Chains A and B, each alone.
Chain A
Amino acid sequence: MVRYEGKTVVNLEVNGELHQLAVRPSDLLLDVLREQLGLTGAKPGCKNGDCGACTILMDGWPVKSCLVLAVEAEGHRLLTVEGLGGNAPVQQAFVEANAFQCGYCTPGFLMVCYGLLMQHPTLPEEYVVEEWLQSNLCRCTSYREIRKAVKQMYQKK
């Protein structure tokens, strides 16, 4: 049985690389990614599971990293927006569809859209896309363009 008390070294696989990190059991994955690994793509917004700005993929499924303990992520594959590489079809689609304004929500949306593509390799029905996208908020209201980007992402892949 794993038992962690106080600062402990854990191994986290992030974007295909294994990292040894000293964390407290109550440290949130979002904070560890940003403060220890410098992966500041995942953004703190509400830190309450509501806005989706902190979304990353865990084993191919989206999770809000503000609601995950870093110690829980051991043994799982984590993917942050940095792991997309900068020129992934989903990123190209967002640029071409002008699917952002201030960009604060964009990493979260990119990860949800990338997760959608992983789990539904062909464009699913409209209600499925809507269901996935409803997990994230965009205060600049780029929703229409984001929907367009999703369609373009499927054409590109």
Chain B
Amino acid sequence: MPLLEVNDVHAYYGNIHALKGVSLTVEKGEIVTLIGGNGAGKTTTLRTITGLMKPRDGHVIFDNEDVSKYPAHAWVSRGIAMVPEGRGVFAKLSVEENLELGAFHRNDKENIKDDIEKSYEMFPRLGERRTQLAGTMSGGEQQMLAVTRALMSKPRLLLMDEPSMGLAPVLVDVIFEAIERINQEGMTVLLVEQNAHMALQIANRGYVLQTGQIVLTDKADVLQKDPTVQKAYLGIE
């Protein structure tokens, strides 16, 4: 049984048919990537998974339960965390306070401190800046913060919406290495990316989304060699 199963989901913004029957699965312990161009429906897919958006048709099943049965906003306590598009951090709070807020639904106060220390071990740059206001950090540092803050909720599935957006190549490497490391420690990741090259390097499997439809899916290394993917997303003619 996969941890996450998206089954023939249709979603609309008013009359705009944004998802036209999307299906995908994520097994426990995998990194799965969802690649696609601007406006393909990647963010919309994530929104239906968290329940922020109700699909008009189809099901999202997380951990054997239909997500639509959740009360609104219950996804965090059910074990899903999201790193939102465009790295939303609380600009006027310190790094440490951002991390504390990441644990907003947890009750185990003692462990929160330990987990914050673990975040600093993962990204020493955050540890050096624990009292700095998040808004004054570089884009890469903010993305590190967004990732670790998502982890603070102790999720079983981590959704990431274009973590490489707007980052210098060096920083993209740092972030992707971290994703791999998190995954090796047992985290299941669904990674939405336009940077197909990087995403396919660390992912186990991938899906290609085009105007609201999955047009291709396979093992990541196979997709890397696929001529259409190479042409459309890897810039290889």
> Do A and B originate from a single complex?
no
